[in-house]
Amino acid sequence: MEKRTVADIVGPWIDPDFNSSLIERCRNNWSIPVGLVTNYVLATFIRQRIALNIVVPEAQRRIVAGFEDGSEILDDELSIAIAEILPNQVPPIVDVSPWMRQPLSVNEALDRIDELSGFDICVRGLLTFEFEDVSITHLPRADRRDVYKSSIWLSTGCGALGFDEKRCKTLSGKIVVVEGKLFKPEPPLGGCGHMGLWPAELLARTLERDSSNC
């Protein structure tokens, strides 16, 4: 059993400015020996590329031993998580590289949420940076479905950008391009962000102003 913690490898936890279920899960398990975290948490660390030198060997040991603890959301979740970072050992996965070269609209990202969840994408839309509402919303406005169904919650976390509050307030209400990892809601929540109102969450890595026309 791996007795080291993520904190031993990466360093002490540093709280970002905002919270999400993903951030909370990482925070709560940051200083727990990796050999004691659940399979679901272990898969989370792997997908976020955190302390891979200790979490991947622990996951591989559990797979060989057939260890299951009932925490997994998906069947064979550890194998799937490892497959995402070791493509030579896995069945073919979705090629999302075109969506990093050409930004998706918010509606396009949401329409493909089952396919793109867990992958890095690039999204273009209108930034909102307010209390209890940090999100990117679809453009053009005429194609929006309703207040939340055409919007994605933005969060920060391990390996992602830390929002510069002053700069983001300046960009609020302007068109931006955000790169990051897309996630669909975790059961049983049914939604992301504040009050679970958003249909998806983007763990943002970069956020830049886009001056192109809508």
pTM of the model: 0.54
CA–CA dist 84, 76 (Å, integer): 13
- 193 half-sphere exposure, CB direction, 13 A CA radius: 23
Domains of the chain: 6-89 (no CATH), 97-209 (2.40.50)
Q: Is the pLDDT of residue 214 over 50?
A: no
132-190 pLDDT per residue, tens: 899 999 999 999 998 899 999 998 754 444 567 788 888 999 999 988 888 888 776 67
